[in-house]
Structure 1
Amino acid sequence: MALDIEATAKYPLASDDWIKTIGIGGVLTLFAVLFVPLLLVYGYLVRVLRAGMRDSPEPPVFDEWGSLLREGVMAFVVIFVYQLIPLIVFAVTVGGSIAAMATGSRAGAGLGLAGLFGGMMISGLLALVFGYFGLVGLANFAHEGTLGSAFDVAVIKDVALSREYAIPWLYGVGFVFVAGVVTSVLNVVPVLGAIVGVFVVFYAQICAFKLWGMGFSAATGVGDTPETGATVAV
């Protein structure tokens, strides 16, 4: 599969409604702490995955909000389940480290600090690994429309270990990384920079999820999934 990175970078602008779409997505991301806006963003990114599978020339729009929210809830469940082990490891190691430091002894403090940094590194690595497989599961959910499909071990293993998916995944991570760097620079300007950075991150997510959808399609041979309207079932 040939990847046109320049075209991918311009993909969020390919629709006549691009200002509205990025505006809505950015505002929802800005208020993600309220949780429901976060679910709506998740639902939209599931649609972007489908658009990537079909190599759609235009990104999806924010509409059919009920369907968007339902898929966002399902996407949240998928992401949470895949990150459950890293979260448990983080809680156990960091909790144990804090308990060791709370003893007040020099040895406890040393062990606690070592455990704290070690636990953060291990849980971070696990989050990356499980996140990689979790994105495949999310893509399969976007394709099949059922929650169980997100945990189809055979499909997930085949896609995750394929070069056709791994390369687009790396490029997608690159988009998100660059957005993070830009956001860090923008944060030099208090408040306004942080707000603008949220829109930059959402823009990069559209590019990344388009690539991940294309990678899933290339690895599985699917490409006939509707952009919207997939039935969501458990």
Structure 2
Amino acid sequence: MFQEAITYPRESDSAVKTIAIGGALLFLSFLVVPVFFVLGYIVRTLRSVLNGEAEPPVFDDWGDLGMDGLKVFAIGFAYSLVPAVIALAAVFASGATLGLGGSGSGTGLAVGLIVLAATLAVTVISLAVAYVLPAAVVAYVRTDSIAAAFAPDELRQYAFSRTYATGWLVAFGISLVAGVIIGVLNAVVIGALLAPFVTFYANVAGTYAIGTAVRDMPVLDAGDETPDAQPAA
């Protein structure tokens, strides 16, 4: 799967053009709006892989790309609120503890324990979100419903599937490789210019890995408690 995922972004006559556009959009991500188009392209890529299409899609129908990207951004933002709320609660708890206890050693220890517990909780939950979020995007793409991205039954069949876990690990491995490449490129001045293109390529490859992993899984209807068939092992 890893080799197929790595080569997938190149399996098109318009591959160079697509990667150039995607990288340029990420380069302009500080403008925010270009990010929606990149996310929309990732959604289109996932939909293409789920449909069994051999070649990656192209950048066109920009309105649809933007809308899909905006929806996926909203899904990701909603998931990111969980660790953010925990971190914010820890800040308030630390401030309240300091306010009530003064600057004594006992107060410092209490604040330290709060910060440590919050850090561990945020780390664990952030990892869980990173694992579940692609499954949420898959659920949205397969049903065209944002609600499906938060449906426990829909998410459960992916999160507890070995095939999804394998696809996720492959995508994670690709992102690590991309990080190393970007680190090497950053050693030279031109590296900062090439990093967005490497990032885009890695995201498309990772999307292929996850898409192929879940392609044969059943889509749950609203109200279903369990999938009609067991996920492939």
TM-score tier, shorter chain, comes to 0.7 to 0.9
Mapped contact 1:137–1:156 kept (Cα < 8 A) = yes
Amino acid at match of 1:146: S
Deviates more, 1:75-84 or 1:113-122: 113-122
CA distance in 2, matches of 1:139, 1:80: 16
Q: Quick one: which of 34, 41, 52 aligns to 2:49?
A: 52
Map Cα deviations across residues 87-116 of structure 1 (whole Å, 9 max, x no partner).
Answer: 111222245557778999474666556644
- Name the counterpart of 1:28: 25
Amino acid at match of 2:152: V
CA distance in 1, matches of 2:77, 2:201: 23
Aligned positions of 1:31-180 closer than 5 A: 31-94=28-91, 96-97=93-94, 105=103, 107=105, 112=111, 115-116=114-115, 118-180=117-179
TM-score norm. by structure 2 comes to 0.83
Map Cα deviations across residues 117-162 of structure 1 (whole Å, 9 max, x no partner).
Answer: 5534421321120232221111111111121222222121112111
Q: State the shift of 1:68 in Å.
A: 0.4
Amino acid at match of 2:155: I
CA distance in 1, matches of 2:171, 2:92: 33
Map Cα deviations across residues 13-56 of structure 1 (whole Å, 9 max, x no partner).
Answer: 11111111111111111121221111111111111111221332
Q: Quick one: which of 160, 185, 207 aligns to 1:209?
A: 207
Amino acid at match of 1:193: G
Contiguous gaps of at least 5 residues in structure 1: 223-234
- Name the counterpart of 2:229: none
Mapped contact 1:52–1:211 kept (Cα < 8 A) = no
CA distance in 2, matches of 1:174, 1:207: 11
Mapped contact 2:23–2:197 kept (Cα < 8 A) = yes
Judging changes above 3 Å, is the alpha-carbon distance between structure 1 residues 98 and 44 closer, same or farther for their aligned structure 2 residues? farther
Judging changes above 3 Å, is the alpha-carbon distance between structure 1 residues 193 and 89 closer, same or farther for their aligned structure 2 residues? same
Aligned positions of 1:190-209 closer than 5 A: 190=189, 192-209=190-207
Amino acid at match of 2:63: G
CA distance in 2, matches of 1:7, 1:193: 26
Mapped contact 1:165–1:218 kept (Cα < 8 A) = no
Mapped contact 1:98–1:116 kept (Cα < 8 A) = no
TM-score norm. by structure 1 comes to 0.83
- Name the counterpart of 2:225: none
Judging changes above 3 Å, is the alpha-carbon distance between structure 1 residues 14 and 110 closer, same or farther for their aligned structure 2 residues? same
Matched-pair identity in % = 32
* Count of residue correspondences: 218
Q: State the shift of 1:10 in Å.
A: 0.9
Amino acid at match of 2:52: D
- Name the counterpart of 1:6: 3
